């Protein structure tokens, strides 16, 4: 009976070498306030100069989401006071942003998809950081003036699920383009969620609440759910007008509730005006040509994997969602192994072990070439599937290579038919009654013989060879 309406604002910190308007470095794990200069400290008289790299990355994003890239865009001043912003204003793009009118397609698990419109992406400068430490608060301005691209969607999402799909897709695109680290925990990919509800069938937009600073997919999902619940309850209790107002709220992970942070300002409160210290930002034909040639995007990579390797759509989605995962997978294939085995060994065997050990694909103790070689050793029948799991376990803990580990653990399969035949003969001799029954038609007993031979070989015999030799000897 109610419909959920969600619009998202995503701040991506662009991974440029230097800041937006000065040549200070953008890395923040340096000593506090060491990456600063008169411009990003907003000392009187210091003038901003636009970093062109920011335009390059904006062109890439605009191209990736099929948007209009404005060849001329302008900067505006948004006035507000906060200790982490010494200028008492933020330089942003309100009236003519660099990117407008894009779309991003989200894919549902059942194979259907939906287009979400992107209203705009604009360039703006980040603020510094306030560090609260007991009674004292300090300000670190290393981050002040770092370039952000704020990507603003239309209110097109209708559930927490759709919002998460949108954020994951956008995150993946940004990583593929390599325009941002997009690290949510470190704050280089920050999502503000705007949520409202309305009676189903109603076209008008109701009051939106903005939830800020949620730093994981899981908490975003949860925050939306509890906020929607709060609004629905207010409506049903007849207190919607009183309780729901346009404001910024924070999500409390422990209490699982949203709490008012501050009333929402209207644009007029910020006294926006054209930034007088900067020229317009111009994208030349040459610049556009160069940076609109973007690398393969997740959707294209996915389609290619399906057609090139005959992969299942689901597997291809899992592999391509994350650029590191896709690279790892493609590097495994260089060992000449089947895509199907590569998927299993990457997403089930390796991923499972990484999760357990608190690792991820970027710091995996076993690299792609090694995992690929391990799969190759199964495919060329050097070891069994079961033995390969043991090898992988060992390699996760020890810095050794595949073949050395196989030797060390004595897991090499015996495919040499002479050796297997000898064992088969012994087993047949030891079980004359079973041989009789088998020959009398009880073919199920083959499993028993295979088991005995495998056991006698301590698991090292190649089961396929054992099967063939047994059949031959018993007939
Ligand atoms: P502000 O900077 O004031 O937050 P923006 O226009 O930059 O405003 O962002 C507004 C965001 O809120 C957009 O993502 C938009 O889609 C979304 N939005 C606007 N109205 C609603 C609504 N009624 N319900 C949910 N989201 C909304
Ligand atoms: Mg906002
Ligand atoms: Zn500076």
Q: Which of 291, 311, 326 is the last residue of a domain?
A: 291
Centre of ligand 1 to C-alpha 318, Å, is 31
Is there an atom of ligand 1 within 6 Å of 257 CB?
no
The verdict on 194 and 138 lying in the same domain is: yes
H helices of 240-347, in order, are: 240-243, 285-291, 298-309, 313-321, 323-333, 339-343
Residue 464: predicted pLDDT: 81
Residues 6+ apart with CB under 8 A from 2: 197, 198, 199, 200, 232, 235
Q: Rounded mean pLDDT of 461-466? A: 82
Residue 233: predicted pLDDT: 96
Q: Which protein residue has the closest C-alpha to ligand 1 atom 5?
A: 152
Centre of ligand 3 to C-alpha 98, Å, is 23
Q: Which protein residue has the closest C-alpha to ligand 1 atom 13?
A: 7
Checking if the pLDDT of 213 tops 90, the result is no
The verdict on 190 and 100 lying in the same domain is: yes
Q: Output the domain CATH number for residue 455.
A: 1.10.10.410
Q: Rounded mean pLDDT of 130-154? A: 95
Instruction: Indicate the top mutation candidate among 3, 5, 6, 9 to test ligand 1's pocket, ranked by most ligand atoms within 8 A of CB.
Output: 9
The verdict on 336 and 452 lying in the same domain is: no
Hey, which of 206-215, 278-287, 376-385 has the most confident mean pLDDT? 278-287
Residue 314: predicted pLDDT: 83
pLDDT band at 111 (very low <50, low <70, confident <90, very high): confident
Please state, in angstroms and rounded to a whole number, the distance separating the CA atoms of residues 28 and 34: 9
The verdict on 312 and 358 lying in the same domain is: yes
Is there an atom of ligand 1 within 6 Å of 157 CB?
no
Q: Rounded mean pLDDT of 291-311? A: 94
The verdict on 272 and 323 lying in the same domain is: no
- Give the number of the atom of ligand 1 that is nearest the alpha carbon of residue 207: 23
Q: Which of 359, 392, 409 is the last residue of a domain?
A: 409
Q: Is 56 helix (H, G, I), strand (E, B) or coil?
A: helix
For residue range 49-104, what is the model confidence (pLDDT) as tens digits?
999 999 999 999 999 999 999 999 999 999 999 999 999 999 999 999 999 999 99
Is there an atom of ligand 1 within 6 Å of 155 CB?
yes
Is there an atom of ligand 1 within 6 Å of 6 CB?
yes
Is there an atom of ligand 1 within 6 Å of 184 CB?
no
Is there an atom of ligand 1 within 6 Å of 5 CB?
yes
Ligand that lies nearest to the alpha carbon of residue 156, given by its number in the listed order: 1
Q: Which of 409, 439, 465 is the last residue of a domain?
A: 409
Q: Rounded mean pLDDT of 190-196? A: 97
Domain extent at residue 432:
417-474
- Give the number of the atom of ligand 1 that is nearest the alpha carbon of residue 9: 14
Ligand that lies nearest to the alpha carbon of residue 42, given by its number in the listed order: 3
Checking if the pLDDT of 325 tops 80, the result is yes
Centre of ligand 3 to C-alpha 18, Å, is 8
The per-residue DSSP string of 153-195 comes to: E-S-B-SHHHHHHHHHHHHHHHHHHTSB---TTTTSEEEEEEE
The verdict on 428 and 458 lying in the same domain is: yes
Residue 265: predicted pLDDT: 66
Is there an atom of ligand 1 within 6 Å of 208 CB?
yes
What is the pLDDT of the chain when averaged over all its residues? 93
- Give the number of the atom of ligand 1 that is nearest the alpha carbon of residue 156: 16
Centre of ligand 1 to C-alpha 268, Å, is 16
Please state, in angstroms and rounded to a whole number, the distance separating the CA atoms of residues 283 and 118: 21
pLDDT band at 241 (very low <50, low <70, confident <90, very high): very high
The verdict on 16 and 40 lying in the same domain is: yes
Please state, in angstroms and rounded to a whole number, the distance separating the CA atoms of residues 32 and 92: 25
Is there an atom of ligand 1 within 6 Å of 461 CB?
no
Checking if the pLDDT of 28 tops 80, the result is no
- Give the number of the atom of ligand 1 that is nearest the alpha carbon of residue 267: 3
Residue 313, number of CB atoms within 10 A of its CB: 13
Q: Rounded mean pLDDT of 249-261? A: 90
Contact between 64 and 99 (Cβ < 8 Å): no
Nearest alpha-carbon partner for 474 in 413, 415, 429, 416? 429
Centre of ligand 2 to C-alpha 2, Å, is 24
Rounded to 5°, the CA angle 166-90-50 comes to 85
Residue 440: predicted pLDDT: 87
Residues in the chain: 475
pLDDT band at 264 (very low <50, low <70, confident <90, very high): low
Centre of ligand 3 to C-alpha 306, Å, is 47
pTM confidence score = 0.84
Q: How many domains does the chain have?
A: 3
The verdict on 193 and 236 lying in the same domain is: yes
Between 110 and 139, the more confident residue is 139
Nearest alpha-carbon partner for 61 in 140, 2, 133, 149? 149
For residue range 346-396, what is the model confidence (pLDDT) as tens digits?
999 999 999 998 898 999 999 999 999 999 999 998 888 989 999 999 999
The verdict on 107 and 224 lying in the same domain is: yes
């Amino acid at each position: 009976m109610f419909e959920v309406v969600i619009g998202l604002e995503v701040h991506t910190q662009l991974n440029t070498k230097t800041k937006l308007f000065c040549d200070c470095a953008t890395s923040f794990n340096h000593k506090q306030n060491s990456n600063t200069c008169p411009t990003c400290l907003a000392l009187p008289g210091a003038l901003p100069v636009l970093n062109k790299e920011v335009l390059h990355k904006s062109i890439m994003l605009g191209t990736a989401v099929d948007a209009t890239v404005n060849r001329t865009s302008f900067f505006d001043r948004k006035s507000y006071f906060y200790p982490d912003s010494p200028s008492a204003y933020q330089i942003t793009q309100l009236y003519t942003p660099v990117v407008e009118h894009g779309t991003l397609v989200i894919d549902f698990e059942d194979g259907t998809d939906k287009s979400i419109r992107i209203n705009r992406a604009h360039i703006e400068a980040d603020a510094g950081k306030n560090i609260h430490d007991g009674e004292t608060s300090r300000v670190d301005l290393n981050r002040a003036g770092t370039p952000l691209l704020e990507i603003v969607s239309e209110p097109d999402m209708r559930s927490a699920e759709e919002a998460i799909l949108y954020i994951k897709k956008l995150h993946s695109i940004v990583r593929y383009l390599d325009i941002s680290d997009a690290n949510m925990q470190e704050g280089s990919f920050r999502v503000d969620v705007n949520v409202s509800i309305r009676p189903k069938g109603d076209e008008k937009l109701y009051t939106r609440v903005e939830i800020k600073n949620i730093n994981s997919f899981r908490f975003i999902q949860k925050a939306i759910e509890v906020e929607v619940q709060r609004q629905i309850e207010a409506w049903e209790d007849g207190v919607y007008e009183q309780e729901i107002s346009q404001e910024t709220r924070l999500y409390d992970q422990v209490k699982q509730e949203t709490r008012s942070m501050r009333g929402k300002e209207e644009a007029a409160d910020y006294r926006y005006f054209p930034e007088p210290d900067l020229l317009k930002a111009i994208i030349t034909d040459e610049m556009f040509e160069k940076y609109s040639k973007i690398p393969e995007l997740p959707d294209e990579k996915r389609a290619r994997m399906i057609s090139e390797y005959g992969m299942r759509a689901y597997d291809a989605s899992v592999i391509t969602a994350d650029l590191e995962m896709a690279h790892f997978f493609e590097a495994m294939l260089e060992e000449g192994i089947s895509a199907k085995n590569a998927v299993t060994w990457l997403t089930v065997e390796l991923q499972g072990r990484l999760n357990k050990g608190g690792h991820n694909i970027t710091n995996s103790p076993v690299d792609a070439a090694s995992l690929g070689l391990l799969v190759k050793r199964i495919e060329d029948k050097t070891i069994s599937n079961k033995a390969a799991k043991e090898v992988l376990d060992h390699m996760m803990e020890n810095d050794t290579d595949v073949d050395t580990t196989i030797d060390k653990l004595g897991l090499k399969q015996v495919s040499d038919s002479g050796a297997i035949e000898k064992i088969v003969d012994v087993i047949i001799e030891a079980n004359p009654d079973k041989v009789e029954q088998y020959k009398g038609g009880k073919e199920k007993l083959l499993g028993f013989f295979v088991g005995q031979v495998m056991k006698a070989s301590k698991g090292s015999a190649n089961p396929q060879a054992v099967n063939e030799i047994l059949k031959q000897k018993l007939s």
